Structure 1
């Protein structure tokens, strides 16, 4: 119960700050473009986004626990992102919508990960996001008396760094973020998460764990979409 309270508190803080920071960024640099983007989608977009993220979060989170031999219900932010992308892209394909619609979520997503992973870190072993044992000086005892890689902090700092990059780019070249920002974020998140997964004691499926296969999918998606967006811009 203690770890659940800690995690919930950080989750609420993460969402609150993400909404607040997202609003500031929207008013600062994205207001004009978002009006145009909003006109190209309907309520179906948000239904697809919600269904995809919720389904992906619980399906992949629970599947990972099952593969670890734990019969419990889990949630996964990686699964949520993967599910949301799949559903939104299917919606856009059916509607014939083109161009990136996810740039507004880049900074809020970074905030959610950066703050939310602190909740994972302070929740201890029961959160199931701890790392493998390490002899490095920054190893952390998650509650079992063993010094382990503080993987949640690695992910938190990585996404914080990407957020800084995004804000600096928005300040000087906002068109880059509007056109490529979401895809860059997805690719970066997938790449850094792929690396950190080697430091987690998750069950493997072949040479990799389940989340690493999802990361590969995100990296491929990101690469294809960046290439497509660049090609469309050059031929416009």
Structure 2
């Protein structure tokens, strides 16, 4: 396979990453609305609208902000441009700031119950599809792994065998999907528990994954994404009731 994989659409050459990313978002949203129609939990129009706006605005801001802060030195260099800022995204920033946006929106409309469980599997599906695009893009965008001599090393467009981190993430999400579905079937947990478990699991995985990806060390040998992961993990460990996990799983 030659990297990066591109597609000719209407006479234009398009990288696999943005194409699969857009496809993932579309399919994920369709899956979410399908689950929402089947769900017994009904939110008012004001609450649904507030949560959607909060999540979208937070994710948009966070994905670009954290994406650009991965290499903060670029922001003050001659290489920086609005196009670079707008096209530089990360799902870690999107999830973290999307969470902040939802919490603010819920406070505005006075909704205290968790609204996250329904979005977990559509979100995972969207990420999986998007990561296929990351893999097919190879080293053309900064979504690749460090060189390795392990059995998992792959040629992604240069002379090095690299960790196929996108495939690692896809495998992790598929396993996590199966585990969360098994936990969900027990039906013993308060609303929001599956979402909290997903966030802890995913951000822990991303924290570890970034050790085998190119990164700029910001603090204590950690990159920007890893620092965000640590903050989110601590937030949810304080929020999650450990006794219910131990007694119910």
TM-score category, normalised to shorter length = 0.7 to 0.9
Match of 1:64 in 2: 70
Is 1:88 the counterpart of 2:98 in the alignment? no
Residue-by-residue CA offset, 1:115-164 (whole Å, 9 max, x unaligned): 11111111011210111110012211121110011111111111121112
Match of 1:173 in 2: 186
Off by >6 Å, runs of 4+ in structure 1? none
1:35-184 equivalences in 2 (<5 Å): 35=42, 37-38=43-44, 41=47, 43-67=49-73, 71=80, 72-73=84-85, 74-170=88-184, 172-176=185-189, 178-184=191-197
Match of 1:234 in 2: none
Instruction: Give the Cα separation in 1 of the matches to 2:117 and 2:45.
Output: 15
Match of 2:10 in 1: none
Alignment partner for residue 202 of structure 2, among 178, 185, 189? 189
The one of the two structures with greater contact order (alpha-carbon pairs below 8 A, sep at least 6) is: 2
Q: Is the 8 A contact 1:57 1:76 kept in 2?
A: yes
Match of 2:28 in 1: 18
Instruction: Check 1:116–1:101 CA distance in 2 against 1; reply closer, same or farther (3 A cut).
Output: same
Instruction: Check 1:145–1:161 CA distance in 2 against 1; reply closer, same or farther (3 A cut).
Output: same
Is 1:201 the counterpart of 2:218 in the alignment? no
Helix, strand or coil: the match of 1:208? coil
TM score, norm. by length of structure 2: 0.80
Instruction: Give the Cα separation in 2 of the matches to 1:27 and 1:89.
Output: 23
Q: Is the 8 A contact 1:7 1:119 kept in 2?
A: yes
TM score, norm. by length of structure 1: 0.84
1:208-227 equivalences in 2 (<5 Å): 208-227=222-241
Question: Structure 2 stretches of 5 or more lacking a match?
Answer: 7-13
Helix, strand or coil: the match of 1:158? helix
Q: Is the 8 A contact 1:190 1:219 kept in 2?
A: yes
Higher helix share: 1
Q: CA RMSD in A?
A: 2.6
Instruction: Give the drift of 1:49.
Output: 1.4
Instruction: Give the drift of 1:40.
Output: 7.7
Instruction: Check 1:179–1:56 CA distance in 2 against 1; reply closer, same or farther (3 A cut).
Output: closer
Instruction: Give the drift of 1:46.
Output: 2.0
Helix, strand or coil: the match of 2:15? helix
